[in-house]
């Protein structure tokens, strides 16, 4: 086979690049995907009960860039959705990322008022601050207590389950993903554009890749066919250590184990995801984000230290 481009991986990066090359450059693309489906980790499907299942955990699309939102709108209608997450702390469900509302869910009102005022005075309002930064910079006994409390109750146990590392052992860019949010905004994301593809991510990807200049080969490792393909350029979107044939060893990726359960009720829990930082051996429960007669929660828990796509 002769093509202009060989793209390894049919996830967002590979598929969007394929669409741009095919439509804007008029060139031919072959996408090689080792899984049996397109859409990468955003892959979803409808089960026997008609519930849309996110195979690899919930994916909520969010961006501040209108042109990105409008670009994907060529291939899907959007279902507006704001993601909310609760964490079980001392037997109570509190908003995550931890915010001012979380304070009032956990502490007596007067003490919560005091803590909120001190947080705002030291860091400002409507700002996000990584927990490690607060632990380092907190002044006064109350804020130091709060920093240690949040670290131990919200971050430490969850991070150990998720990564098998303490928060301070992770790169700052990782711990900064879920900061302390000094705000009353309970949404998990604050981007201007948030939602879910109306008919699922896989349907979006099918439309994205529906072009005569694009061919997709599934269930195939690119090493198996690379000698048989004539191409001008290659784009690799898989694990970087795999590309170099693990010449420096395997990177310490982590994975998750997913367990799917169907129940005969309309709503299992009040929000899309509930985290368990300290209890149980799993990290979270999440349920179908589309209302239906049957809801399929997903229980996620860490697996061994393996290298997933």
- Asked if residue 99 and residue 164 are part of one domain, the reply reads yes
CATH of the domain at 72: 3.40.50.720
Domain membership of residue 146 as a residue range = 85-182
Distances (CA, A) of 194 to 81, 94, 291: 6, 22, 18
Q: Give the chain's end-to-end CA distance (angstroms, integer).
A: 26
- Asked if residue 176 and residue 93 are part of one domain, the reply reads yes
DSSP lists the bridge partners of residue 274 as: 86, 285
Examine residue 252 and state whether it is found in any structural domain, yes or no. Answer: no
Element (H, E) at 103: helix 100-106
- Asked if residue 175 and residue 97 are part of one domain, the reply reads yes
Which of 79, 39, 88, 96 is closest to 291 using CA atoms?
79
Distance CA 34, CA 59 (A): 21
- Asked if residue 90 and residue 77 are part of one domain, the reply reads no
Examine residue 34 and state whether it is found in any structural domain, yes or no. Answer: yes
- Asked if residue 161 and residue 121 are part of one domain, the reply reads yes
Element (H, E) at 18: helix 12-20
- Asked if residue 149 and residue 66 are part of one domain, the reply reads no
- 170: confidence class by pLDDT, cuts 50, 70, 90: confident
- Asked if residue 159 and residue 97 are part of one domain, the reply reads yes
- Asked if residue 239 and residue 114 are part of one domain, the reply reads no
In the structure encoding, which two tokens stand for residue 297, read together? 């929660």
Examine residue 258 and state whether it is found in any structural domain, yes or no. Answer: no
Instruction: Write down the pLDDT at residue 56.
Output: 93
Q: How many CB atoms lie within 10 A of CB 42?
A: 21
> Is 218 within 8 Å of 35 (Cβ atoms)?
yes
- Asked if residue 126 and residue 138 are part of one domain, the reply reads yes
Instruction: Write down the pLDDT at residue 172.
Output: 83
Between 49-63, 76-90, 107-121, the lowest mean confidence (pLDDT) is in 49-63
Examine residue 160 and state whether it is found in any structural domain, yes or no. Answer: yes
Examine residue 260 and state whether it is found in any structural domain, yes or no. Answer: no
- Asked if residue 21 and residue 52 are part of one domain, the reply reads yes
Tally the domains of the chain.
2
User: Does pLDDT of 92 surpass 60?
Assistant: yes
Please tell me whether the overall predicted TM-score, pTM, comes out greater than 0.85 for this model.
Answer: yes
245-260, pLDDT tens digit by residue? 999 999 988 888 888 8
DSSP string, 212-266: TTEEEE-S--HHHHTTT-B-SEEEE-S-HHHHTTTTT-------EEEEE--BSSS
User: Does pLDDT of 294 surpass 60?
Assistant: no
Distance CA 211, CA 28 (A): 10
User: Does pLDDT of 50 surpass 90?
Assistant: no
- Asked if residue 177 and residue 90 are part of one domain, the reply reads yes
- Asked if residue 224 and residue 159 are part of one domain, the reply reads no
């Amino acid at each position: 086979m002769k093509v202009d481009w060989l793209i390894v991986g049919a996830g967002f990066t590979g598929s969007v690049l394929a669409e741009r090359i095919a439509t804007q450059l008029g060139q031919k693309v072959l996408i090689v995907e080792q899984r049996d489906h397109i859409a990468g980790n955003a892959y979803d499907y409808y089960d026997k009960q008609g519930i849309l299942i996110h195979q690899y955990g919930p994916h909520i699309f969010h961006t501040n860039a209108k042109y990105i939102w409008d670009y994907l709108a060529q291939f899907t209608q959007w279902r507006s959705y704001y993601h909310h997450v609760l964490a079980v702390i001392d037997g109570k469900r509190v908003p995550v990322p931890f915010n001012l509302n979380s304070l009032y869910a956990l502490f007596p009102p007067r003490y919560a008022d005091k803590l909120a005022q001190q947080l705002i005075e030291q860091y400002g309002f409507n700002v996000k601050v990584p927990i490690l930064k607060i632990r380092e910079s907190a002044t006064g006994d109350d804020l130091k207590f709060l920093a240690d409390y949040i670290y131990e109750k919200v971050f430490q146990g969850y991070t150990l389950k998720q990564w098998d590392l303490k928060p301070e052992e992770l790169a700052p860019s990782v711990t900064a993903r879920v900061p302390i949010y000094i705000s009353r905004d309970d949404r998990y994301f604050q981007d201007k554009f948030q939602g879910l593809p109306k008919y699922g991510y896989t349907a979006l990807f099918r439309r994205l890749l529906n072009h005569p200049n694009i061919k997709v080969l599934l269930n195939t490792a690119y090493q198996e066919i690379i000698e048989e393909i004539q191409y001008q350029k290659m784009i690799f979107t898989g694990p970087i250590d795999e590309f170099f044939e693990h010449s420096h060893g395997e990177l310490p990726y982590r994975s998750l184990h997913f367990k799917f359960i169907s129940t005969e009720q309309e709503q299992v829990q009040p929000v899309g995801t509930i985290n368990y930082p300290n209890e149980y051996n799993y990290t979270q429960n999440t349920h179908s984000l589309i209302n239906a007669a049957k809801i399929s929660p997903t229980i996620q828990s860490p697996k061994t230290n393996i290298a997933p796509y």
